[in-house]
Amino acid sequence: MTMEDNAHETRTGPNAESAATGRTVAERTIAGALRDGAARLAPVSDNPRLDAEWLMAEAMGTDRSTVLLQYMDRVAPERFDDLVDRRASGEPLAHITGRQEFYGLELAVSRHVLIPRADSEVLINAARDVLADRPPARILDMGVGSGALLLAALSSWDEARGVGIDRSGAALAMAQHNAEQLDLAARTELRLADWTEIGWESRVMPAYDLVLANPPYVATRDPALADDVRRFEPEGALFAGEDGLDAYRTLIPQLPDLMTPGGVAMVEIGFNQADAVIDIAARSGLRHALHHDLSGHPRALELWVEQFGDEELG
Ligand code: GLN
In angstroms, what is the span from residue 227 Cα to ligand 1's centroid? 13
Q: Is 108 left (phi over 0), alpha (psi -120 to 50) or beta?
A: beta
Q: Around Cβ 156, how many Cβ atoms within 10 Å?
A: 18
The answer to whether domain 3-89 and domain 103-305 are alike in fold is: no
In angstroms, what is the span from residue 295 Cα to ligand 1's centroid? 15
CATH classification for the domain delimited by 3-89, as one of 2.120.10, 1.10.8, 3.30.70, 1.20.58: 1.10.8
In angstroms, what is the span from residue 105 Cα to ligand 1's centroid? 20
Integer CA distances (angstroms), 285 to 135, 255, 279, 289, in order: 24, 10, 10, 14
Dihedral angle, C-alpha 4, 8, 13, 19, nearest 10 °: -170
DSSP E strands, 143-285: 161-166, 188-192, 208-213, 259-268
Shortest-distance Cα residue to atom 5 of ligand 1: 238
Instruction: Please check whether residue 212 is in contact with residue 237, taking contact to mean a CB–CB distance below 8 angstroms.
Output: no
Q: Looking at residue 310, what is its pLDDT?
A: 59
Q: Looking at residue 203, what is its pLDDT?
A: 84
Q: Is 267 left (phi over 0), alpha (psi -120 to 50) or beta?
A: beta
Q: Looking at residue 308, what is its pLDDT?
A: 75
Q: What is the pLDDT of residues 16-52, one digit of tens each?
A: 444 444 444 457 999 999 999 999 999 999 999 999 9
Output phi, psi for 254, to 5 deg: -85, -15
**Most ligand 1 atoms within 8 A of CB, residue of 268, 271, 272, 297 to mutate:** 268
Q: Which CATH architecture has domain 103-305?
A: 3-Layer(aba) Sandwich (3.40)
Check: pTM over 0.85? Answer yes or no: yes
Q: Around Cβ 36, how many Cβ atoms within 10 Å?
A: 18
Q: What is residue 191's DSSP assignment? A: E
Q: Looking at residue 21, what is its pLDDT?
A: 46
Angle between helices 48-60 and 79-88 (to 10 degrees): 140
- Point out the ligand 1 atom lying closest to the alpha carbon of residue 239: 8
In angstroms, what is the span from residue 302 Cα to ligand 1's centroid? 18
Q: 161 - beta bridge partners?
A: 138
In angstroms, what is the span from residue 218 Cα to ligand 1's centroid? 6
Low-confidence residues in the chain, pLDDT < 50: 1-25, 313-314
- The single-letter code of the amino acid at 283 is R
Q: Looking at residue 20, what is its pLDDT?
A: 46
Q: What is the pLDDT of residues 241-269, one digit of tens each?
A: 999 999 999 999 999 999 999 999 999 99
Q: Looking at residue 309, what is its pLDDT?
A: 64
Q: Looking at residue 202, what is its pLDDT?
A: 85
In angstroms, what is the span from residue 38 Cα to ligand 1's centroid? 26
- Point out the ligand 1 atom lying closest to the alpha carbon of residue 119: 1
Q: Looking at residue 4, what is its pLDDT?
A: 37
Residues with CB under 6 A from ligand 1: 114, 117, 214, 216-218, 229, 238, 268
Instruction: Give percent helix, percent strand, percent coil of the chain, each to the nearest 5.
Output: 40, 20, 40
- Point out the ligand 1 atom lying closest to the alpha carbon of residue 215: 9
Return the domain boundaries, the chain.
Answer: 3-89, 103-305
- The single-letter code of the amino acid at 285 is G
